[in-house]
Amino acid sequence: DEDEEEENLIKKSESKQVPDGGDNASMKLRGDLATLVEGLDDELFRAWQNTDAYGQDYVELLKDERPLLDLMADAQDFFESMLDDRSRAARIASRRILHIYYKSDELLQQIKELHRASSDEPGLPEKSLQELAVLVYRYGEERAKSQTMLCHIYNHALGNRYYEARDMLLLSHL
The domain ranges of the chain are 32-172
Q: Which residues contact 51 (CB under 8 A, 6 or more apart)?
A: 57, 58, 61
**What 3-state class would DSSP assign to 47?**
helix
Predicted confidence (pLDDT) at residue 120 exceeds the cutoff of 60: no
Q: State residue 150's pLDDT score.
A: 96
pLDDT per residue as tens digits for the range 54-82: 999 998 998 899 899 999 999 999 999 88
CA–CA gap between residue 123 and residue 161 (Å, rounded): 28
pLDDT > 90: what percent of the chain? 53
Predicted confidence (pLDDT) at residue 14 exceeds the cutoff of 50: no
Q: pLDDT averaged over the chain?
A: 82
Does the predicted model carry a pTM greater than 0.85? no
In 114-124, which positions are buried (b, 16+ CB within 10 angstroms) versus exposed (e)? ebeeeeeeebb
Predicted confidence (pLDDT) at residue 118 exceeds the cutoff of 80: no
pLDDT per residue as tens digits for the range 30-39: 788 899 999 9
